């Protein structure tokens, strides 16, 4: 048995069903999204754990790093334990209730529709010539400064977000759902949320968020490399995209990205579309040059947001077909 109480064929079917639910429903506004509750837990734990100590920088650093480990372990284990209790309780009432609860919660760890919706909030004002709104909505999905973004820069930010999160918001949670059901998928989502909240390499979180950032890197390692296979296949099915160039871009550019994982889906996207991602970003008023990925065969425009969303959806479709095919083999 896998995932405590469900067999692997059951988990495969639940994973496929969760993809469908996400595509139809997206991020639920009621009841409160589980990721919001995870974020609230992280903020509460951070208030309790984050403080510097007297006695020297070295001593303070070790203690801060240790507290960061505690934050990571408590958050991930809490998410896993709570989800396990919910699934077991639902299954005890009726097997089909257990299925339904599992599918629902797995779907909340996936965010394909949510990614599309967020990207379209940037796309629509850009094509309408409303750069102010495009900058505002870009600020919802990236941590860089957005108040001075040009149209190509806003489009690039949206494309990079969708490309990177093809792994974080789809392939990774789905993989963990297939391995351990809703509890393991939610544990992954907790780890990923930790990274997005405290996994920064700035003065405040460099030590405290170290464990969270490294755990996220480890958990996304295999899914990111799976994206190097699935995304070029998706590009092969889309007009105007190059699967061969997507594969080549991964080998040429992915290693230049500061993240061991994010460079893979971003390079695949850049190669498929024939554009260049990366470049100059601003964070809190300071310029930061990010690795440039892909070949700038043409200028990047707002339409590339739409193309990246299509690439995401076809990647999702192909993965879902793969999951169902695997179910037919192992059932």
User: How large is the average pLDDT for residues 116-144?
Assistant: 95
What is the DSSP secondary structure assignment for residue 255, as one 8-state letter?
G
**Nearest residue to 170 via CA among 108, 212, 257:** 108
The tens digit of pLDDT for each residue in 149-160 reads 999 999 999 999
Q: What is the pLDDT of residue 241?
A: 98
Among 27-36, 61-70, 129-138, name the most confident range: 129-138
State the chain's mean pLDDT as an integer.
93
For residue 326, tell me if it sits in a domain. no
* Confidence band for 57, pLDDT divided at 50, 70 and 90: very low
For residue 325, tell me if it sits in a domain. no
* Confidence band for 51, pLDDT divided at 50, 70 and 90: confident
For residue 1, tell me if it sits in a domain. no
Q: What is the pLDDT of residue 128?
A: 96
Q: What is the pLDDT of residue 285?
A: 80
> Which residues 6+ apart lie within 8 Å of 305 measured at CB?
119, 120, 122, 123, 126, 155, 158, 159, 162
Q: Quick check: 174 and 188 in contact, CB under 8 A?
A: no
Q: Per mean pLDDT, which range of 12-16, 116-120, 198-202, 232-236 is the poorest? A: 198-202
For residue 322, tell me if it sits in a domain. no
Residue ranges in 94-209 assigned as alpha helix (H)? 95-109, 112-127, 131-138, 151-166, 172-198, 205-208
| 276: pLDDT strictly greater than 50 | yes
User: How large is the average pLDDT for residues 286-308?
Assistant: 94
C-alpha–C-alpha distance, residues 305 and 273, integer Å: 10
As for how many domains the chain has, the answer is 1
Question: What is the gyration radius of the CA atoms in the chain, in angstroms?
Answer: 20
For residue 297, tell me if it sits in a domain. yes
* Confidence band for 2, pLDDT divided at 50, 70 and 90: very low
* Confidence band for 305, pLDDT divided at 50, 70 and 90: very high
For residue 245, tell me if it sits in a domain. yes
* Confidence band for 52, pLDDT divided at 50, 70 and 90: low
What is the DSSP secondary structure assignment for residue 170, as one 8-state letter?
I
| 262: pLDDT strictly greater than 60 | yes
C-alpha–C-alpha distance, residues 108 and 114, integer Å: 10
| 30: pLDDT strictly greater than 70 | no
Which domain range does residue 220 map to? 8-316
User: How large is the average pLDDT for residues 108-127?
Assistant: 97
The tens digit of pLDDT for each residue in 182-223 reads 999 999 999 999 999 999 888 888 999 999 999 999 999 999
What is the DSSP secondary structure assignment for residue 169, as one 8-state letter?
I
Q: For the chain, give the percent of residues with pLDDT over 90.
A: 85
For residue 3, tell me if it sits in a domain. no
Q: What is the pLDDT of residue 70?
A: 97
Q: Per mean pLDDT, which range of 24-38, 165-179, 253-267 is the poorest? A: 24-38
C-alpha–C-alpha distance, residues 302 and 317, integer Å: 24
Enter the pTM of the model: 0.94
Crossing angle for the helix pair 243-253 and 263-273, to the nearest 10 degrees: 140
Q: What is the pLDDT of residue 4?
A: 61
Tokens 């996207």, residue located = 269
For residue 16, tell me if it sits in a domain. yes
Q: What is the pLDDT of residue 307?
A: 98
Between 310 and 201, where is the model more confident? 310
Q: Per mean pLDDT, which range of 12-16, 23-27, 103-107, 121-125 is the poorest? A: 23-27
């Amino acid at each position: 048995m896998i995932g405590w109480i469900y067999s692997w064929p059951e988990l495969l079917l639940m994973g496929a069903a969760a993809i469908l639910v996400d595509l139809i429903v997206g991020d639920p506004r009621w009841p409160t999204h589980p990721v919001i509750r995870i974020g609230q837990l992280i903020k509460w734990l951070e208030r309790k754990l984050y403080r510097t100590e007297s006695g020297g920088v070295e001593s303070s650093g070790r203690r801060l790093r240790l507290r960061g480990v505690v934050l990571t372990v408590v958050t991930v284990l809490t998410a896993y334990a709570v989800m396990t209790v919910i699934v077991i309780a639902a299954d005890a009432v009726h097997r089909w209730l257990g299925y339904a609860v599992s599918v629902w919660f797995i779907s909340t760890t996936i965010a394909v529709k949510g990614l599309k919706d967020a990207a379209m909030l940037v796309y629509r004002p850009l094509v309408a010539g409303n750069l102010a709104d495009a900058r505002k909505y870009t600020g919802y999905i990236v941590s860089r400064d957005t108040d001075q973004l040009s149209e190509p820069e806003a489009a690039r930010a949206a494309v990079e977000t969708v490309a990177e999160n093809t792994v974080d918001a789809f392939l990774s949670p789905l993989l963990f759902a297939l391995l351990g059901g809703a509890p393991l998928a939610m544990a992954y989502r907790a780890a990923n949320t930790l990274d997005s909240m405290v996994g920064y390499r700035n003065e405040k979180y460099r030590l405290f968020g170290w464990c969270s950032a490294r755990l996220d890197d480890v958990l996304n390692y295999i899914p990111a490399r799976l994206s190097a296979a699935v995304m070029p296949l998706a590009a092969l099915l889309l007009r105007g995209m190059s699967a061969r160039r997507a594969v080549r871009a991964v080998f040429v550019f992915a290693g230049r990205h500061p993240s061991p994982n994010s460079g893979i889906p971003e390079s695949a996207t850049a190669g498929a579309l024939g554009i260049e991602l990366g470049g100059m970003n601003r964070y809190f008023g300071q310029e930061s040059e990010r690795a440039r990925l892909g070949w700038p065969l043409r200028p990047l425009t707002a339409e590339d947001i739409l193309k990246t969303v299509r690439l995401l959806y076809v990647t999702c479709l192909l993965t879902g077909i793969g999951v169902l095919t695997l179910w037919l083999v192992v059932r």
